[in-house]
Amino acid sequence: MLKNFWYAVEFADQVGRQPKKVTCLGQDFVLYRTEAGMVTCLSDLCVHRGGALSMGSVTGDCIACPYHGWQYDSAGVCVKIPANAEERKIPRKARVDAYPTVERYGMVWAFLGDLPEAQRPPIPVLPEHDDPTFRRVQYEMVIDANYERALENVVDASHTPFVHGTAFGNPDKPGIPDFRIRTGDWSAEADIQLSPPPPKGLWGLLAKRKPRPEYVTVTNGWYLPNLVKLHIRLPIGDLLLYDFNIPLSQDRTLIKIIGYRNFFTGGWADANTRKRIEMILLQDRPVVESQRPELLPFDLSDELHVRSDGLQVAYRRRRAQLIKDGWWVGGDDIITGDVPRRKATIIPSPARRDNPELASAWVHKARNGGATS
């Protein structure tokens, strides 16, 4: 799992004034909106006795822990300890990590890492979002598989005729013509020719009037840390799926999908679009959950790659560089999680690096290095 990236952690319409717990990189966070409507993202772990702030309550711009009522502001600084006499000073260490947040494309993005603003990798661009000819839907599902296995599945064109049969691929024509990969620092994309199956159901009715092409171009790509794009050009229009693979833990993934279509743009077709997205995921799910080893190997030579696996190989190479740079949060770093522990570690937030005078202000140690570990 990679720190130092913007992670889309929740749909924006799911976050209000009530505290909302989200999980990413094997750590819990609490989201809530301030009075001005800005989303705050704090570590969900109270430094006093480890209460979950997400079970507490929001007053003004502060959140109160449900256990002894300590109040933290939106920068994560404790501003009130109810059991203390008024004149007693609040300890400097009474603070939790706060993570920068941005709302974009109907998602809440949190920067999970301690890089200064100028060094942060960019949030991927979703050009269809502001295009009025596109209609947006959102969908989510949890699967019991590693998020990188899930991510690679989406950019893997050669599985479609086998896993999706005639729903999506064409079992009679499983060949993948060679494709060229466009790589950037944080992404890789390719236009891949797939033989299309005849469209069925509602979408098929309209497509019948159009001649069926021999190949359709599907644009497939990954954008670090965990987004994959699938742009399908159907005879009736374009369908784009942006698929966020959120690592709840190393072996459990919350898949959040935003779909854009420029056909049947009335709200009446939203449920049908969501059903199609769900059908695709339900076909992929048992295969991805059955993959062994569960975690993506670090060494390229640990699995066999062929020409059509180019996007996955590009992903593994880029990831290997970032691991070398120290951005990896692996199993050994995860102290909180689904087994009982005595010690907690936290993804370091920018305040740790920005304020050297706070170097010793943190109770919970940074996970996998970080400025103060």
Binding site for Fe ion (CB under 5 A): 284
Are 60 and 314 in contact, with CB atoms under 8 Å apart? Answer: no
Are 51 and 40 in contact, with CB atoms under 8 Å apart? Answer: no
Stretch that binds ligand FES, among 26-34, 48-56, 187-195, 317-325 (CB under 6 A): 48-56
Among 49, 92, 210, 275, binds ligand FES (CB under 6 A): 49
Q: How far is the CB of 159 from Fe ion (least distance, A)?
A: 6
Q: Which CB sits closer to Fe ion, 28 or 278?
A: 278
Q: How far is the CB of 165 from Fe ion (least distance, A)?
A: 11
- Judged by CB under 6 A, the chain residues 18 through 47 that form the site for ligand FES are 46
Q: Which two tokens stand for residue 308?
A: 């059509």
Interaction between residue 68 and ligand FES (CB under 6 A)? yes
User: Which entry of Fe ion, ligand FES, none binds 305, CB below 5 to 8 A by partner kind?
Assistant: none
Closest CA to 74 of 116, 12, 31: 31
Q: How far is the CB of 56 from ligand FES (least distance, A)?
A: 8
User: Which entry of Fe ion, ligand FES, none binds 284, CB below 5 to 8 A by partner kind?
Assistant: Fe ion
Measured CA to CA, the distance from residue 126 to residue 138 in angstroms comes to 14
HSE, side-chain direction, 13 A CA sphere, residue 73: 5
Q: How far is the CB of 301 from ligand FES (least distance, A)?
A: 48
Interaction between residue 93 and ligand FES (CB under 6 A)? no
Closest CA to 238 of 133, 158, 311: 133
Q: Which CB sits closer to Fe ion, 10 or 284?
A: 284
Are 52 and 66 in contact, with CB atoms under 8 Å apart? Answer: yes
Residue 161 burial (10 A CB sphere; 0-12, 13-18, 19+):
buried
Are 189 and 182 in contact, with CB atoms under 8 Å apart? Answer: yes
Interaction between residue 365 and ligand FES (CB under 6 A)? no
User: Which entry of ligand FES, Fe ion, none binds 49, CB below 5 to 8 A by partner kind?
Assistant: ligand FES
DSSP assignment letter at 349:
P
Q: How far is the CB of 137 from Fe ion (least distance, A)?
A: 18
User: Which entry of ligand FES, Fe ion, none binds 218, CB below 5 to 8 A by partner kind?
Assistant: none
Q: Which CB sits closer to ligand FES, 6 or 70?
A: 70
Q: How far is the CB of 41 from ligand FES (least distance, A)?
A: 18
DSSP assignment letter at 12:
G
Q: What is the CA radius of gyration of the chain?
A: 22
Stretch that binds ligand FES, among 32-40, 67-75, 245-253, 310-318 (CB under 6 A): 67-75
Q: How far is the CB of 30 from ligand FES (least distance, A)?
A: 12
DSSP assignment letter at 144:
S
The single residue listed with the structure tokens 């987004």 is 227
Non-local (6+) Cβ contacts of 289 within 8 A are 143, 144, 145
- Site residue total, ligand FES (CB under 6 A): 8
Q: Which CB sits closer to ligand FES, 180 or 343?
A: 343
Interaction between residue 67 and ligand FES (CB under 6 A)? yes
Interaction between residue 51 and ligand FES (CB under 6 A)? yes
From the DSSP assignment, how many helices (H) and strands (E) are in the chain? 7, 20
Are 144 and 254 in contact, with CB atoms under 8 Å apart? Answer: no
Residue 361 burial (10 A CB sphere; 0-12, 13-18, 19+):
middle
User: Which entry of Fe ion, ligand FES, none binds 70, CB below 5 to 8 A by partner kind?
Assistant: ligand FES
Interaction between residue 48 and ligand FES (CB under 6 A)? yes
Under the rule (CB under 6 A), what is the footprint of ligand FES? Answer: 46, 48-49, 51, 65, 67-68, 70
